[in-house]
Every structure is written in structure tokens, then in C-alpha cells.
Amino acid sequence: MEKTDKTDPLSILVVNNMLITGFDAPVEQVLYLDRKIVAHDLLQAIARVNRTHGPKKCGYVVDYIGVARHLNEALQDYDGEDTEGALIDISVELPKLLDRRARAVAVFTDRGITDLQGQVDGCVDVLEDLKIRADFITKLRMFYDTLNMLEHRPEVPGDVFRDAKLLGFINKVAANLYRDPVLNLLGVAEKVKALINAHVSARGIDPKIPPTTITDAEFERVLAGQPSSRARAAQMQHAARYHIVGFSHQNPAYAQKMSDKLEEILQRFKDDWEALERELRQFIEKLRQGDRNEFPDLDPKVQVPFVRLILEECSKGRELNEAQRTAALSATLDMVERIRQEVRKVGFWKNNAMRELLTRSLVRDLDRAGVCPAGKERDLAQRLVALARENHEHLTRP
């Protein structure tokens, strides 16, 4: 064996014999010279090379002396089920790669897109539909999975890599616009992801930076960079939806109200882009202010979510008069204080008995206040406890 410098990341251990398993190798880079390996030793050597870890999904064997022929012979000693898929047949996998590429591209060409390179915006518009987005990312992932297996093979046409990069760019632009986590490339092989990210970066988008939110200081700059009222309206529409989803668990009643308001604006001004842009700017400004305008004297993160839930539930099927509304508000604030005291107890959320005790107390509070429709007290109390869990951090702050 040749001596190697363990501190040198480029050092290579040259082996003529032994070191089949690699357990005692001082470095990861091991090169075997002048060794014909057959049978069990051959399988062992390849298995060790092919061990996965972290971003390393497979190993590579450069076959200068035809060990693949010996590998086929060695595999004859094992059952077919054990060796199925051990070797990749390029004549089978290459057509599969081309077919999967064609299926991903067809998501757009079947809908009138004739030039993916020149019609990126049109492709992104196609992906506005949720079902089409889900279909596209599924086909794109399958394409990338096969490309990962074959990307080193000279038989792969260059236009496959071109389309892989272009589809990845379209996917990133759509992900930034629609703020849809479905469009992430989580699970895609690092080599393929690096290829896509390099192309995305070259076209002016940093793949590591998430989409700009409406509360970000850069949001106005993003809007200013859009070429038209329609493009600015699209950015605001999807940014607003993303923001609403962000607090939908902490304040579900308010989230539903603002979601309904957004849909109303989109329907009313759907054919007038300038008016839609103007209305969405006003709507986003309200979203930035948070849920504080209707209840200016209450804490928007501690009290208001519970007040909204109670008022929404108690007013179903009827209109609350001022006295009923005041009673519901007073009862809710008392219940919020009870909830704050209970959830501060150590291990509260892991203790079923403690949660059930709080639920029963809230049922009694609701019954005593007389503002909740009869028979709905326990269901509402359980929803209040669930809401408390989502808002635990706010409820337990000093």
C-alpha cells in the first residue's frame, strides 16, 4: 500500500491486494490496481463502494477489464429476487428517461405551449391550477430520478439536460409565485439538484432564498420589478394567500374571513387588472396590520383569536344583540385567563387528564354564560383547547 496524507482531501489509497471491505481504509478514495476480482470478493467490493451515506446515494465502478462479466457470473449464485435490479440495462433505462422527460414537457405542450424557453411565463400560468401543479411535480420528480441514474452515461442526449434545467427553472419561478411547498425538490438527488440550482442561479434567481413575504421590506421592490399590473396582481394574490395560510391555525376565524374577502376581490375585479392591483394593495395593507382593528383594546395574538372563535360559533343561525355580544366577550376573556393559567403547568400538553379537566371547566364556563347554542358547549370547549395548543407560545409569554 502507498502511504497517504490523511489531512489532504485529494489523497488516494492505492491497493494491489486485500482491503476488500474498506473498514480500515484511512481515506475514502481507494483505487485498486492490477487485481482481477471475481465471485464473492467481487460482490463484496462493489457492495462496499455502493454504500450510501448522506448526500452519497450510490458508488461508481470504472470497469477497465470487464468485471461486469464476472459480476453476472457471481450473481448466478443468488436467488433472482435478491439480485433483481442489481445491474442497469441502458437499452431499457434510456427509453424510460426519454419517455419521462416527454411526459413532464407534455404538461405544457398539451396546453398550447410551443416553446418552453420563450414561454416561461405561460408555463407558470399553466401551473396556477392545483391539479396541474401536482401532476407536473410528480412527473418532474420521476424524470429527475431516472436522470440521476444515467446522467454520467454518454448515451444521454444533450437536450435531456437542457430540458431538465429549463423545467427546473419553470418549477422554481412557479414555486416563488404560488408559494406552494408541493413544488419543492426535496428528495431529488443532490447531483441533479445542483445542476438545476446552477441554471436557476444563472438566470438571476437564488434557489436558496425563499419567496418574499408581504411583511418583508423587499416585497415592494419585488412588485416594482414586475412588468405589468397583471403580474403585480398575481404576486400580491399568491403572497396574500400564503400569508393567510401562515396564521390560519393560530386565528382560524380571522383567516377564513380574510380568505373570503380575498376571493371576493378576485372575483369582482378579475377582468380589470389595474383595479385588481389597487384593491389588492389595500387588502395587503390590512393583512400587515394584523387582527387588531375590530378589537383595538384586546391583545391580537392572545385574546382576539378566542374572541373571534366564540363570536363566530355563537352567532351561527342567529344575530347576537349587543347584550349577548358583550356577555360572550366577557366570558371569553375569563376563559382565556383560565386557559393561560392551565397551559403554563409543566407537561400540560402531554397529560390527557389535565387537558380533559380544562375542557370540562370551559364547558361549565360556556354553560354558565348562556351564549353558546345548547348542546354545542363541549365541541366548542374542545376547539378552544385545540386553539390554545396552536397559540401556546403567545399564551405563556410573560
Residue 73, all three cell numbers: 457470473
With a cut of 90, say whether residue 250 has pLDDT above it.
Answer: yes
Q: How confident is the model at residue 293 (pLDDT cuts 50, 70, 90)?
A: confident
In this model, does residue 286 exceed pLDDT 50? Answer: yes
For residue 69 the three cell numbers come to 462479466
Residue of 388, 390, 391 whose CA lies nearest to 338: 388
Query: 390 versus 320: which is more confidently predicted?
Result: 390
Nearest to 287 by CA among 217, 231, 218, 215: 215
Nearest to 122 by CA among 173, 179, 197: 173
pLDDT confidence band for 217 (50 / 70 / 90): confident
99 vs 7, more confident: 99
The predicted pLDDT at position 21 comes to 45
Predicted confidence band at 210 (pLDDT cuts at 50, 70, 90)?
confident
| Tens-place pLDDT, residues 345-354 | 999 999 999 9
Tell me which of 58-62, 116-120, 136-140, 309-313 is least confident: 58-62
Rounded Cα distance, 79 and 85, in Å: 12
Answer yes or no: are the C-beta atoms of 44 and 21 closer than 8 Å.
Answer: yes
Q: Are residues 28 and 62 in contact, defined by beta-carbon separation less than 8 angstroms?
A: no
**Cβ neighbours, 10 Å, residue 134:** 14
pLDDT of residue 267: 93
Contact 144/189 with Cβ under 8 angstroms?
yes
Q: The C-alpha cell of 181 is what?
A: 411547498
Q: Residue 129: pLDDT above 80?
A: yes
In this structure, the number of other CB atoms found within 10 A of the CB of residue 146 comes to: 21
pLDDT at 169: 94
Q: Which of 7-11, 57-61, 68-72, 282-286 bottoms out in mean pLDDT, i.e. has the lowest? A: 7-11
Report pLDDT for 69.
62
| Residue 2: pLDDT over 50 | no
> SS3 string of 246-312?
HCCCCCHHHHHHHHHHHHHHHHHCCCCHHHHHHHHHHHHHHHHHCCCCCCCCCCCCCCHHHHHHHHH
pTM over 0.75: no
* The predicted structure's pLDDT at residue 264: 95
CB 392 within 8 A of CB 348: no
Question: What band does 37 get if pLDDT is binned at 50, 70 and 90?
Answer: low
H runs (alpha helix) in 64-116: 67-75, 80-83, 90-109
pLDDT digits (tens, 9 = 90+) for 169-192: 999 999 989 988 888 887 788 888
Phi and psi, residue 23, nearest 5° = -65, -30
* pLDDT confidence tier of residue 3, bands split at 50, 70 and 90: very low
Query: With the C-alpha atoms ordered 342, 348, 354, 355, is the resulting torsion angle positive or negative?
Result: positive
pLDDT score of 226: 87
Phi/psi at 13 (5° precision): -90, 120
> Mean pLDDT over residues 140-161, rounded?
90
What does each C-alpha distance from 201 to 127, 172, 196 come to in angstroms?
21, 11, 9
Say whether pLDDT at 251 is over 90: yes
pLDDT of 12 strictly over 80: no
Please, what is the average pLDDT of the chain? 83
Closest to 302 in 3D by CA, of 261, 251, 268: 251
Residue scoring higher pLDDT (210 or 354): 354
The CA R_g of the chain, rounded to the nearest whole Å, is 30
The dihedral through the CA atoms of 167, 172, 178, 179 has a sign that is positive
Residues 6 or more apart in contact with residue 346 via CB below 8 angstroms: none
Degrees (nearest 5) of the Cα angle 5, 10, 13? Answer: 60
DSSP state of 30: E
The pLDDT of residue 154: 86
pLDDT at 22 > cutoff 50: no
Rounded distance between C-alpha atoms, residue 328 and residue 309, angstroms? 11
Inter-axis angle of helices 304-314 and 322-343, to 10 degrees? Answer: 130
pLDDT category at 336 given cuts 50, 70, 90 is: very high
What value does the mean pLDDT take over residues 372-387? 90
pLDDT band, very low/low/confident/very high, at 40 (cuts 50, 70, 90) = low
Higher local confidence (pLDDT), 55 or 166? 166
pLDDT at 8: 56
Task: Determine the pLDDT at residue 278.
Answer: 94
